[in-house]
């Protein structure tokens, strides 16, 4: 990571350069993976401001070029040469991380999953832990956000463990649901870095809500991710599916072997394919143990549990 600085003469120049409500600065930040920090000038005179930029050197250079161009012509729009390019380095690449790494699918099912997210308005992914369902959905959502095709990302999941006790947990809404959505936070922070994730979250460009708080909303121009969908009830699933607004994509993920509901037969994910089969615009993707990209022991552990569960079922028959 590299840090560079641009010195500004005064507040007036900063306002002209950044745009109203810093809209041009935020656009550059979203599209170039660069973090901005505004501080008092480090010049001996002490006049003006300093705009510090942190990110990959090539991205920072593009941002400086765009800002210098706008400095010469404040009425001109920011020239932005960076677009998310799915074929940069690899035809499978989804997006680059804050450290410059490429996020891309590793297995055939993962590639099919990514292709489905590009081609369909709604994608449902079934599969065991560690198959990349959530991480790839987050990477795809960020790529769509950075390209300008969507204005925000909404993350949700059922908070089964807390149930009605959610309101008694300490802290604000973010602090209450944080433990339950941590896997998704980790994915975002891996890709864009902790500081930029916080900025996007604080600006509600990334919105994180428990499923219970989704009722009554219509989500337009957004990528909406429902994680741990196996823990929804049929009623909750129907409610979630009808939140979809204009120009939106929905990605639903879940593992039917890890249902935490008291009545496991009441999972909203179990019947979704049967109910929605034949509805155009929806794709169903199934992952298997072959797609697990965690430690090699994870697949062996899942296989062992699967065999034990089948044996117990056979003995009880």
DSSP string computed for 91-110: TT--EE-TTSPEE---SHHH
Note the pLDDT of residue 180.
Answer: 67
Residue 84 lies in a domain: no
H helices present in 19-56, as ranges:
23-32
Answer yes or no: do 214 and 155 share one domain. Answer: yes
Q: Which domain holds residue 202?
A: 99-311
Residue 171 lies in a domain: yes
Of 72, 107, 128, which residue sits at a domain end? 72
Answer yes or no: do 61 and 119 share one domain. Answer: no
Residue 88 lies in a domain: no
Answer yes or no: do 129 and 240 share one domain. Answer: yes
Supply the CATH number for residue 35's domain.
Answer: 3.30.1370.10
Answer yes or no: do 123 and 188 share one domain. Answer: yes
Supply the CATH number for residue 293's domain.
Answer: 3.40.50.300
Note the pLDDT of residue 252.
Answer: 97
Answer yes or no: do 9 and 115 share one domain. Answer: no
Residue 237 lies in a domain: yes
Q: Which residues in 32-50 are b (16+ Cβ under 10 Å) and which e?
A: bbbbbeeeebeeeeeebbe
Tell me whether strands 249-254 and 122-126 are parallel, antiparallel or unpaired.
parallel
| CA dihedral (274, 210, 127, 110) positive or negative | positive
Answer yes or no: do 285 and 136 share one domain. Answer: yes
Note the pLDDT of residue 314.
Answer: 57
Number of domains in the chain: 2
Residue 87 lies in a domain: no
- Indicate whether this model's pTM tops 0.95: no
Note the pLDDT of residue 159.
Answer: 74
Residue 77 lies in a domain: no
Note the pLDDT of residue 261.
Answer: 86
Residue 80 lies in a domain: no
Note the pLDDT of residue 245.
Answer: 93
Answer yes or no: do 127 and 225 share one domain. Answer: yes
Residue 90 lies in a domain: no
pLDDT per residue, tens digit, the chain (317 aa), is 788 888 887 878 887 778 777 777 877 887 777 888 887 765 555 567 888 888 888 778 778 877 777 776 665 554 332 233 333 444 678 887 777 778 888 899 999 999 999 999 999 999 988 888 999 999 999 989 888 889 999 999 887 653 434 455 555 555 666 666 777 788 888 888 888 888 888 888 999 888 888 888 999 999 999 999 999 999 999 999 999 999 999 999 999 988 888 888 889 999 898 899 889 999 999 998 888 866 567 667 877 887 887 787 655 43
């Amino acid at each position: 990571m590299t840090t560079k600085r641009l010195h500004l003469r005064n507040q007036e120049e900063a306002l002209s350069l950044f745009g109203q409500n810093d809209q041009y600065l935020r656009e550059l930040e979203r599209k170039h993976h660069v973090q901005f920090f505004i501080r008092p000038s480090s010049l001996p005179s002490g006049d003006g401001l300093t705009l510090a930029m942190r990110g990959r050197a090539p991205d920072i250079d593009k941002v400086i070029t765009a800002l210098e161009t706008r400095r010469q012509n404040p009425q001109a729009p920011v020239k932005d040469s960076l677009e998310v390019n799915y074929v940069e380095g690899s035809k499978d690449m989804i997006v680059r991380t804050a450290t410059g790494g490429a996020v891309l699918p590793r297995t055939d099912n993962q590639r099919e999953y990514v292709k489905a997210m590009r081609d369909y308005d709604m994608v449902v992914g079934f599969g065991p832990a560690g198959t990349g369902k959530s991480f790839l959905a987050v990477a795809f959502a960020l790529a769509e956000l950075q390209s300008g095709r969507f204005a925000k990302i909404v993350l949700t999941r059922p908070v089964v463990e807390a149930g009605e006790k959610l309101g008694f947990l300490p802290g604000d809404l973010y602090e209450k649901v944080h433990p339950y959505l941590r896997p998704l936070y980790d994915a975002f922070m891996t890709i864009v870095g902790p500081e930029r994730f916080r900025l996007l979250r604080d600006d509600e460009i990334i919105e994180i809500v428990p499923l219970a708080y989704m009722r009554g909303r219509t989500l337009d121009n957004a990528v909406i991710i429902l994680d741990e969908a196996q823990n929804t009830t049929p009623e909750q699933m129907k409610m979630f599916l009808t939140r979809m607004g204009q120009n939106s994509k929905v990605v639903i993920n879940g593992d039917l072997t890890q249902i935490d509901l008291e009545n496991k037969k009441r999972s909203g994910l179990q019947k979704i394919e049967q109910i929605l089969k034949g509805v155009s615009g929806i794709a169903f993707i199934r992952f298997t143990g072959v797609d697990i990209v965690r430690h090699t022991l994870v697949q062996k552990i899942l296989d062992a549990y699967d065999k034990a569960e089948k044996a117990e079922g056979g003995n009880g028959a």
